Amino acid sequence: MIQAYVEELQQVRLASEHTVNNYQRDLQRFVEFSAQANACNVNSLPISLVTRESIQDWLVSMHTQGLAPATLARRLSSVKSLFAFGLRHKHCNENPASGIRAPKLGKRLPKTIPQNQTAQLLENTNRQFDTRELGLMALLYGCGLRVSEVVGLNMRDLSIHHRSKEAEVRVLGKGNKERIVPLPEVAVCLMQDWLVDRGNFLPKDEAVFVNRFGKRLSVRTVQRMLKDRAMETGADASITPHRLRHSFATDMLSGGANLRTIQQFLGHASLATTEHYTHVTLPQLQQTYSDAHPRSTQAKVKKHEQ
């Protein structure tokens, strides 16, 4: 049943490789726990042995191991989804995970970095592959792309002309959903510099970003590059590509962009996901209210002083 479910995730729902791997690992852990509890072979666990109580026991055991609520919630979700699939395809007669509530998640705000540090990261350095790194930064922070989206770009996905308003990049996001993201002027300049140097690497394929052997960069290489660059420029060494994406969204919101626009840039399926960024900029919004709203006490004081 698990194998059939994984195939549906890949071929029908077009889930990302990351999502498929996570669900597959979660379900394997559940099967191993259930098989051990029932003293049976891990490769032939009868569906009838999976009960509401056994799933709750699994959650309790993970909780005692100190796993985060978000991890427990995801693992429960994987089991619920598996049995929902089983019901639809008549592999089972009920969903034993139905009605089991996930642990309450605390509010976790997206981590960002200060604007002065992103400016430091975008400064020219004497690093060997500086133009390539600046081009990567232009898309990670300048456009808010995921690192997997950036390394997956091909030359045919870029449309860069002399006038920045015509420059754009076609991005293949989660679930193979395509979106078009415009390139800001600074990103156009940095990308043009990199594309000039790219030919010196003798590219072996159509990848926009290649290593010294002309092959497509890996996600791990970009993560390592970013940390090295941060240490060299004096930025926060704990920075990650995803924090740059969060910073892009937060800075856009602070600059006046509406949530729908940011949602399109980020490729979020749900506006609720994008709304997380409103909490990050709440202090600025409160200050704006205090300064401008006619019913604000602070605004009344300023008017009286004038």
DSSP E strands, the chain: 158-159, 168-172, 178-182
Q: List, as own/partner pairs, every contact residues 72-81 make where C-beta atoms lie below 8 angstroms and the sequence separation is at least 24, other chains included.
A: 72/102, 72/103, 73/102, 73/103, 73/105, 74/22, 74/26, 75/26, 75/29, 75/30, 76/100, 76/102, 77/102, 78/22, 78/23, 78/26, 78/27, 78/30, 79/26, 79/27, 79/30, 79/55, 81/5, 81/23
Of the residues 29, 174, 179, 276, only one is catalytic, namely 174
Residue 242 appears among annotated catalytic residues: yes
Residue 223 has a pLDDT of 92
Question: What is the enclosing helix (H) or strand (E) of 119?
Answer: helix 115-121
> Edge-to-edge strand order for the sheet containing 158-159?
158-159, 168-172, 178-182
Of the residues 75, 198, 245, 246, only one is catalytic, namely 245
Rg (CA), the chain: 24
8-state DSSP, 48:
G
Of the residues 5, 23, 141, 277, only one is catalytic, namely 277
Residue 304 has a pLDDT of 45
Q: What is the dihedral of CA 231, 236, 237, 241, to 10 degrees?
A: -110
Residue 96 has a pLDDT of 93
Residue 63 appears among annotated catalytic residues: no
Residue 300 has a pLDDT of 43
Hey, do 2-88 and 115-283 end up sharing a CATH topology, with the first three levels equal? no
Q: What is the pLDDT of residues 224-265, one digit of tens each?
A: 998 888 888 877 778 889 888 888 888 888 777 888 888 888
Low-confidence stretches of the chain (pLDDT < 50) are: 163-164, 285, 288, 296, 298-305
Task: Please classify residue 65 by burial: count the beta carbons closer than 10 Å to its beta carbon, then call 0-12 exposed, 13-18 middle and 19+ buried.
Answer: exposed
Residue 197 has a pLDDT of 93
Of the residues 242, 260, 276, 300, only one is catalytic, namely 242
Residue 146 appears among annotated catalytic residues: yes
Q: How far apart are CA 248 and CA 266, in angstroms?
A: 9
Q: How far apart are CA 239 and CA 174, in angstroms?
A: 23
The residues pairing with 289 across neighbouring beta strands, listed in sequence order, are none
Residue 174 appears among annotated catalytic residues: yes
CATH topology of domain 2-88: DNA polymerase; domain 1 (1.10.150)
Residue 107 has a pLDDT of 58
Q: How far apart are CA 271 and CA 274, in angstroms?
A: 5
Residue 145 has a pLDDT of 92
What is the CATH code for 115-283?
1.10.443.10
Query: Amino acid identity of 252?
Result: M
Phi and psi based region of residue 239 (left: phi greater than 0; alpha: psi -120 to 50; beta: remaining) = beta
Q: List, as own/partner pairs, every contact residues 293-302 make where C-beta atoms lie below 8 angstroms and the sequence separation is at least 24, other chains included.
A: none
- Full DSSP string of 142-184: TS---HHHHHT-BGGGEE--SSGGG-EEEEE-GGG-EEEEEPP
Residue 15 has a pLDDT of 82
DSSP E strands, 68-159: 158-159
Task: Return the domain boundaries, the chain.
Answer: 2-88, 115-283
Of the residues 146, 198, 216, 229, only one is catalytic, namely 146
